[in-house]
Amino acid sequence: MKKIRAAVFASGAGSNFQAIMENDLLCEVALLVCDKPGARVLEKAEKFGVPTFVFDSKEYASKSDYEKELVHRLQQADISWIFLAGYMRIAGPTLLNAYENKIINIHPSLLPEFPGKDAIGQAFKAGVSTTGVTVHYIDDGIDTGPVIAQESIEVFSDDTAETLKERIQQVEHRLYPVVINRLMK
Ligand code: GRF
């Protein structure tokens, strides 16, 4: 049977992209979308032989313009699911309407706590004893869509922001592929 085709959107180091690629997925990652020319995730895509679409938002007049191009590329590649993994842009109606309930994101906190940038730093500074990881559907807000799965992580008294980040990323790398496979069934 033909596998569902998915795209990963990532613009950073790509450790979640790598974790997704190294797992036995029920879908095929057929495209990597990246909005940061030169991002480290692009080397990883090359290593795994995943085609990429890289764009610079500054070259488009508006969000709806670059999202029209994105939707066109996604449809051309027969993509039916999108997994965000460090894509730092808020989706607009063009993308959301084309992929309704088919776009998920992973975020390094127990949402609704600590949405937005540097969630790990925010949690660390706030001095919480527990934080975690959330996988959720996206909507037009910042990390506000319906939660699909969460896992808690204890913050130890001797943690630094870096050691906490390491443990959070270990959980992300295990959780995201599991949740993806659950959704593909
Ligand atoms: C991850 O922590 C993810 O939760 C957040 O962005 C980070 C991406 O890291 N949305 P990487 O590029 O996958 O290493």
Q: What are 63-107's pLDDT values in tens digits?
A: 999 999 999 999 999 999 999 999 999 999 999 999 999 999 999
CB-CB contact of 134 with 111 (8 Å):
yes
For the chain, the structural domain boundaries read: 4-184
Confidence bin at 133 (pLDDT 50/70/90):
very high
Q: Quick check: CB of 106 below 6 Å from ligand 1?
A: yes
For 4-184, CATH number?
A: 3.40.50.170
Q: What was the pLDDT predicted at 154?
A: 98
In angstroms, the CA 146 to CA 111 distance is 10
Q: Ligand 1: which of 48, 151, 169, 171 to mutate, most ligand atoms within 8 Å of CB?
A: 169
Strands 103-107 and 130-137: antiparallel
pLDDT over 90 (residue 1): no
Q: What are 17-63's pLDDT values in tens digits?
A: 999 999 999 999 999 999 999 999 999 999 999 999 999 999 999 99
Q: Quick check: CB of 86 below 6 Å from ligand 1?
A: yes
